[in-house]
A and B are shown apart, each in its own frame.
Chain A
Amino acid sequence: GQSLEQPSEVTAVEGAIVQINCTYQTSGFYGLSWYQQHDGGAPTFLSYNGLDGLEETGRFSSFLSRSDSYGYLLLQELQMKDSASYFCAAKAAGNKLTFGGGTRVLVKP
Chain B
Amino acid sequence: KAGVTQTPRYLIKTRGQQVTLSCSPISGHRSVSWYQQTPGQGLQFLFEYFSETQRNKGNFPGRFSGRQFSNSRSEMNVSTLELGDSALYLCASSRDSFDEQFFGPGTRLTVL
Contacts and interface: CB of A to CB of B under 8 A. Distances in A.
Whether A and B are associated in the same complex: the answer reads yes
A25 interface: no
B106 A99 contact: no
Contacts of A42: 90, 103-106
Nearest to A96: B56
Interface string A26-59: 0000000101000001111100100000000000
The SS class assigned to the B binding surface is strand
Given A94-B56, A99-B43, A99-B45, A43 B103 contact: yes
Interface residues of A, number: 19
**How many residues of B sit at the interface, in one of the four size bands?**
20 to 34
B42 A91 contact: no
A91 B103 CA distance: 16
Contacts of B106: 42
Interface in B49-86: 50, 55-56
Contacts of B33: 97
Contact of A98 (B45, B90, B104): B45
Interface of A: 33, 35, 41-45, 48, 87, 91, 94-102
